[in-house]
Amino acid sequence: MSGTRRRFFQDTVFLGAGFLGLTEAFSGSTQVSDPQTARAIEQGRHHSPYGNHMKKDVAPRGPDPFLPMTAPDLEDLPHEMDGGVKVFRLVAEPVKRKIAPFKTIDAWGYNGSCPGPTIQVQQGERVRIIFENKLPEATSIHWHGLEVPIEQDGVPWISQKPIAPGEKYVYEFTVHQEGTFFYHSHGAMQEMMGMIGFFVAHPEKSYKPHADHDFGMILQEWAVLPNNTVPNTSAMEYNWLTFNGVSAPGITPMIARLGSRVRLRIINMGMDHHPIHLHGNQFVLTGTEGGRAPESTWYPMNTVLVGVAQARVVEFEAKYPGSWMVHCHLPHHMMNNMMDLLRDRAMETANTTDQKALAQMETLAKSVPFEHVHPSPIAANANSVPGFPQDAFMEMGMDDAVEKPETHGLPPNWSAGMMGMMTLVRVLPDKEYDEMMHRIKSTGRAEQKEHTHGS
């Protein structure tokens, strides 16, 4: 558990003990170390993707405990309590973000991260965000989707004066909504430099049915010209596509227990809409940027269009073991255009020869710090076929360069099948799931949270 996470939970438990008398429930909701209890509870459930009317209501007083969202490759923003106010410190600043093992960009973000760290609160809480501008120009923060007083809306010149470089500004409001919101700069170019983060408001009364896993993904696109590290924010075409600021295959897979209910929250801050597709499972759309959707509106689907400035929340029953893809289905978002690495290939794809393409791949292999895995086989007469090559030679297996506990057990060269806006939900049976959690914990990193009680 990282320091950030630990602080978050300590505060949460403290809040529960000190103000709400829910210590037991809170600590129960944050434990993943009791797989037997979790298993018993989960086996006793009969989830339908449309909901579950079997469960009895709990928590007669105060807000229900909640399962924090996990955004792979992003941290939570820590907070402290000032009386009944949850106080966050948010710093806008230039950041370096490694979007691929061999590609680091100069983005702008918050608290050293791009996208910014996740703010998690509960419906009904009062929050104070002490904001500091360490950018070389003025900025402000808009609380996207939140119903706040006009002076908290964060629009320069309309609801406040721009916050000058070096200046601080304090936002404070009560969150009366529940749902998936975000914070972002209200300058268009700053948005395209990456200035966005999750603002999750957990409901006062638990959603029914509740999710066992809660994951978040921020969709972003970048135009980074050859041999450059600074995104071109006025470009209309994008060559790098990221989830949570990381491009596939570097994105940390999401791990779910077989038989659990999984929630995915997806938000989009870019110039394109992204149809996000889940393999092998149907999901239901349970929420938008406006909060929870009534159960009567849920219907089965497996692709959800996440438009610019929208949030989409989907849930599914993880009934099938396997490593299931979650990806944007726009073909050009299923890859990155490595024009700075492949040099002339981008322009000569249609009439290049395999020898030339291979030579380029060799150049590429030498220019990046990973062992290049051999591409898929091609036919002997490939060169005589108009249109060749298409996907041939594009694969870049880099299993070792992106290895982490969450990738353990994936088939050799798995990373060659993943590019751009792609990640995995790995649905693991109990034994493998518990081993995986142990493996993640032993690295000292924050583990992905699991709901382990029946509220």
Q: Return residues touching Cu ion (CB under 5 A).
A: 274, 328, 330, 333
CB of 215 to Cu ion, least distance (A): 18
Smallest distance from the beta carbon of 305 to Cu ion, in angstroms? 10
CB closer to Cu ion, 119 vs 217: 217
- H-only helix segments in 252-352: 339-342, 345-348
What number of residues does the chain have? 455
Nearer to Cu ion by Cβ, of 330 and 358: the residue is: 330
Which residues make Cβ contacts (< 8 Å) with residue 431, sequence separation at least 6? none
CA–CA separation, 429 vs 439, rounded Å? 15
Minimum CB separation from Cu ion for residue 272, in Å? 6
* Chain centroid offset of residue 322 CA: 20
For residues 326 and 328, which CB has a smaller minimum distance to Cu ion in the complex?
328
CB 247 within 8 A of CB 105: no
Contacts of 7 (CB under 8 A, 6+ apart): 78
Looking at beta carbons only, is 213 or 274 nearer to Cu ion?
274
Residue 287, H or E segment: strand 283-288
Question: At closest approach, how far in Å is the CB of 196 from Cu ion?
Answer: 16
Rounded to whole angstroms, the Cα distance separating 330 from 335 reads 9
Whose Cβ is closer to Cu ion: residue 202's or residue 333's?
333
Name the minimum Å distance from CB 410 to Cu ion.
23
Q: Which of 15, 263, 261, 266 is nearest to 122 (CA)?
A: 15
Closest CB to Cu ion among residues 129, 328: 328
H or E element in which residue 303 lies:
strand 303-306
Q: What is the DSSP string of 304-315?
A: EEE-TT-EEEEE
- Which residue's CB is nearer to Cu ion, number 133 or number 244? 244
Question: 413 — alpha (psi -120 to 50), left (phi > 0) or beta?
Answer: left
Q: Are 290 and 179 in contact (CB under 8 A)?
A: yes
Place of tokens 């493996």: 439
Closest separation in Å from C-beta 439 to Cu ion: 31
**Residue number with CB closer to Cu ion (165 or 307):** 307
- Label the pairing between strands 254-257 and 422-428: parallel
Residue 9 or 182: which CB sits closer to Cu ion?
182
Among 54, 32, 52, 73, CA closest to 317: 52
CA distance 38 to 264: 20
Q: How far is the CB of 248 from Cu ion (least distance, A)?
A: 12
CB of 239 to Cu ion, least distance (A): 13
Nearer to Cu ion, 276 or 410 (CB): 276
Question: Nearest approach, Cβ of 397 to Cu ion (angstroms)?
Answer: 23
Within 13 Å of residue 209, how many CA atoms lie on the same side as its CB? 28
- Strands, E, within 125-222: which ranges? 126-133, 141-144, 168-174, 179-185, 196-202, 213-222
CB of 265 to Cu ion, least distance (A): 17
